[in-house]
Amino acid sequence: VAANLTTVSVGSETSGSLISPARSNGVVALRPSQGLISRDYVVPLGPDLDTPGPMGRSLTDVAILLNAMTGVDPNDPKTGDTAALAGTDFTQFLNLERARGLRVGIVTDGTETEKPAEIAALRAQGVEVVEINAADILPYTQVDTAFPQLQYGFQAGLNTFLAGLGRPAPVASIAEVVAFNEEDMANRAPYNQRWVKWSAETDLTAADQARILAEAQAYATAWMTALVETYNVDVLHADMLYASHAGAAGVPALTIPTGLDANGQPASIILSGPYLSDPNLLTVGYVLEQAMQGRVEPDLDATIKQIEAVTGK
């Protein structure tokens, strides 16, 4: 998407795998509220956190793709929680006038970089901006769900996924995946399969994983709820530091490119909000996108020359 080789793409996220690369490459990505898009036939990493999501060069592209992806799916019961948004035309939320009166909390912890341009753009469109010191509400704690999800969740999720394919698969379990790869490591797992084996051989139990997940989800949900309710805001501007909370709580997150940083690398902001606040994220994101015009077209010729200079090829 960043290189203009495709207009849109679909990725999946457990804890940051949509938001982080989109932020680093200057494209728009939406991690939707969990259940807004069915997870059926998505190879799982952590089934309790996983969600597909759209990526594109603009919010319009992302909203159009989202229109085609939502709906209630009997094969994914979680989609029933988002029935109120099923069949919605999400492009209607790309509306500057709709932003008027929305409240956006700018979350800081004393280390976040000031965002004067973003704040000015929001206020110019009638958005109320509230500065929030997250530490005053609930001290920030890293919500580490990635490793438990990878260690136990991947094993259990992949085994269930393979069993539910409806026709014989070449492999039927994560243990068989490991054995299959070991027959020809050079071609099947050229970068080794340490993490796959780690998951296949885990000592974690379903009870262990459920406990870890419940603790992480409870904290992340409490953190989000405390900020939203205490400051009466609709959307949070919280940057990457807090992205893991969106994953653990199952709430939406959205990246918007803002240009290049001092090192010439793509820069973005990240919006988040309560469950099913996806429309508000799209609206606030649209205000910022139109004001910042932050997408920078890649210079592929220059990149190729840099590669040739380094590799000699």
pLDDT, tens only, 269-303? 999 999 999 999 999 999 999 999 989 888 888 88
- Name 45's Cβ contacts closer than 8 Å, sequence gap at least 6: 12, 14, 149, 150, 153, 154, 157
Quick one: which of 274, 282, 270 has its CA closest to 115? Answer: 270
pLDDT of amino acid 6: 93
Tell me which range, 95-104, 151-160, 205-214, 244-253, is most confidently predicted by mean pLDDT.
Answer: 95-104
> pLDDT tens across 131-167, in order?
887 677 666 555 555 566 678 888 988 999 998 887 7
Between these two residues, 53 and 145, which has the higher pLDDT value?
53
- The CATH code of domain 8-138+235-302 reads 3.90.1300.10
Cβ contact 44:78 at 8 Å: no
Round to whole Å and give the CA distance between 252 and 37.
Answer: 12
Cβ contact 146:15 at 8 Å: yes
Q: How confident is the model at residue 108 (pLDDT cuts 50, 70, 90)?
A: confident
- Its sign, for the CA torsion 17, 20, 26, 28, is positive
> pLDDT tens across 163-188, in order?
888 777 889 999 999 999 999 999 99
| Domain spans in the chain, listed from the N-terminal domain onward | 8-138+235-302
List Cα–Cα distances, 70 to 54, 75, 82, 90, 92, in angstroms: 11, 13, 9, 10, 15
Between these two residues, 72 and 303, which has the higher pLDDT value?
72
Helix (H) / strand (E) element for 272: namely strand 266-272
Matching residue, tokens 């919006």: 271
- CA triple 237-103-137, angle to 5 deg: 60
Asked if residue 58 has pLDDT above 70, the reply is yes
Cβ neighbours of 104 (radius 10 Å): 27
- Name 160's Cβ contacts closer than 8 Å, sequence gap at least 6: 44, 47
Mean pLDDT of the chain: 88
pLDDT of amino acid 216: 80
Round to whole Å and give the CA distance between 242 and 152.
Answer: 24
Q: Work out the percent of the chain whose per-residue pLDDT is above 90.
A: 52
